[in-house]
Chains A and B, each alone.
Chain A
């Protein structure tokens, strides 16, 4: 089982959600966040003062997935979130030892 974390542009959230639902994902977590990458938050046309780094608003989406779904989910999210411009974000995968559904006590894949 894996945790997929994606940091994407805020206005791409609906598109990503729709794509994930179409794939069959029924649950995810969304948080507001901010950050920057190699371009340090600067746009293509940047007139500001130097030596400043702006944190740019993002959304962070997390979802649990079974191992055999991970590759497809990465492609689904990347395609839905992409604009081709700087600041599109990143997705990463971390292993999960176990998961528990609080209401029923189910564990593992049954809790997904």
Chain B
């Protein structure tokens, strides 16, 4: 290996939990760290974790986390060898990747050609069709005339999905069941796409009924090695945002798993891929699967693959960027046990999942065997409205699916976030749902099984019970003086009996005799 390619310092161009996770990986590898932040993130966790940091601008992402020139200037002024983009923001921006290379640094990610190809859903579909990869039926280039589009859509057959050509993460996506809703859906999707991706182009795709969303994690290096570290199932989604991810998928047989893994590697080869990437498939109940898209970044849900295979995907990304070989071969990696991840969002589940912001009075993470928390928050921190509402990810690993579910429910109940409301109660009810237990995790799981949540009878009853417990807890806490600041008078007595030691009784503290 060319020793000169070893990174001395890496800049992480992101924020929140993923920035923290990458900074920790660098520290483990003995690489010095740097990051950028906006004026809204002066006290953010990722800033504290980096050795050095530079404020690149106002809170608005366009002026800070998306400001390519400012980020590159910061990296150059700090003497960085490489930049890791995380996910979101500039992670899939080929201009950013190019600008980094032009500035004499390394982009920790795929080559710009692969980003460009996969960033355009229409072109990537065409390329995959050429490479013999199965894709869903759809209309790639929409006519300007709506009547023509409506006629062509009728031919594919409803339900259909309207998707943003430059999209991802559910933004700019609409399901349409009724032809009369097509126009409004196209307008809405186009508006959201224009804002989120600066490209209003949308396209239409057939909606597979009862599909599962199954993706394969791949790694590719400069030495011609392409490997996969198996699947993740991300079927449980709310408004097309993934909220629960697990591996292995209950739907795959060993034979289909192997076949899909090989197809995923084929997608990586067909796009001349490098670094970590994810090939997304739509998996139909009859065992057929279709290429959806390839995400050319490290993904939010990457930890579950790490838990079951023992591979550190971020460190592999960094090693690949340094020109090294992937540290293992395909036949050396296998899946062990079951892993589940949930995304903790700053959303109020009892009020239409409206985004929440404000100071965090108390954050306490669950712990114990097989529990991992990738977090971007801390007690005393603040959640602002400028960025994605993801706060952290809770990941569990257990010998089998049933114990992983039980572990996740327990860990969620132990996860304390006070100050803003989160989707934790909703996640608990998803995990406890009998249909989740039996693995009926289709992408319409939420509308199908929990349409009224939290206004269904059982959730209302549970909530009513919990609010009674809360009232009793508050009264007993008040009655016992718990949590009050205690001022000791000079004679050593105080008027409050909150101190647990006082309840022990007439013990004498041993003095140093």
Asked if A and B bind, the verdict is no
